[in-house]
């Protein structure tokens, strides 16, 4: 599914929250420099518009539950082995490596290439301003890269899509908060402390959270 941004200029009166909710569920995160209705978010509009103070808002509070790049990389293999497929079963609550559909088809064999295609379809787009640079990145490429900030941001995005980010403040909770979380971390890394933003993401990747089977199927439903 592609995000349609062609009519954005005609719809500036629409709420930022509604846009972020739509974008978070679509092919990528598309962030516009519109008015920041959450004053605690470190983004281009908040910092340049004065509703956000860099000294108080441009840091990333601790959260937890997600998976790191080494885990997500296992789902991007052209020829996955049993360990890669077992990792997929381990990430989905209620699904085991041996599970099969009524047709006799292995669930992990069925879902693996579909999850791979899902991840490869994702693009994060951040429109910056001032000290915050714009950025467009392929999620799958970022996960495989050595750029720590972009790699961990891609993991945080995927963890959010699959419902594994826990302990977030209320403005970043739910599907509509994922886009704000991504731009807040990106903004904090450039306006606040890069190491603080990176460490907050790294510390969140404790791999102790699984995705529910229902959430997993809902996320990749366009590929089933």
pLDDT in tens, 136-177: 999 999 999 999 999 999 999 999 999 999 999 888 876 568
Rounded Cα distance between 154 and 135, Å, is 12
**What whole-number distance in Å separates Cα of residue 98 and Cα of residue 71?**
20
CB-neighbour burial class of residue 146 (10 A; exposed 0-12, middle 13-18, buried 19+): exposed
- For residue 88, pLDDT beyond 70: yes
For the cut 70, the answer to whether the pLDDT of residue 34 exceeds it is no
pLDDT tens by residue, 175-215? 568 999 999 999 999 999 999 999 999 999 987 789 999 99
* φ, ψ (nearest 5 deg) of residue 220: -105, 20
Residue 44 belongs to what H/E stretch?
helix 44-49
Q: Please check whether residue 84 is in contact with residue 77, taking contact to mean a CB–CB distance below 8 angstroms.
A: yes
Number of H helices, E strands in the chain: 11, 5
Instruction: Give the pairing of strands 135-138 and 211-212.
Output: unpaired
Classify strands 135-138 and 123-126 as parallel, antiparallel or unpaired: antiparallel
pLDDT of residue 4: 35
Percent of the chain whose pLDDT exceeds 90? 64
d(CA 25, CA 179): 10
Read off the tokens for 175: 């599907």
pLDDT, tens digit, for every residue of 53-86? 554 579 999 999 989 999 999 999 999 999 999 9
pTM attached to this predicted model: 0.81
């Amino acid at each position: 599914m592609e995000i349609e941004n062609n009519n954005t200029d005609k719809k500036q009166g629409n709420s930022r929250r509604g846009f972020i909710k739509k974008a978070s569920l679509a092919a990528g995160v598309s962030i516009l420099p519109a008015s920041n209705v959450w004053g605690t978010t470190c983004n281009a509009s908040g910092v340049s518009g004065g509703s956000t103070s860099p000294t108080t808002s441009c840091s990333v509070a601790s959260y937890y539950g997600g998976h790191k790049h080494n885990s997500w990389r296992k789902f991007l293999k052209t020829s996955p082995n049993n360990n890669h497929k077992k990792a997929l079963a381990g990430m989905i609550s209620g699904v085991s490596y041996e599970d099969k559909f009524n047709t006799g088809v292995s669930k992990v064999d069925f879902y693996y290439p579909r999850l791979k295609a899902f991840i490869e379809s994702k693009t994060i787009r951040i429109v910056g301003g001032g000290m915050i640079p714009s950025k467009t990145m392929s999620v799958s490429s970022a996960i495989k890269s050595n750029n720590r900030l972009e790699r961990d941001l891609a993991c945080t995005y995927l963890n959010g899509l699959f419902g594994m980010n826990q302990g977030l403040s209320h403005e970043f909770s739910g599907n509509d908060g994922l886009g704000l979380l991504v731009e807040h971390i990106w903004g904090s890394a450039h306006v606040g402390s890069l190491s603080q933003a990176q460490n907050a993401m790294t510390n969140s990747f404790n791999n102790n959270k699984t995705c529910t089977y229902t959430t997993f199927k809902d996320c990749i439903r366009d590929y089933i």
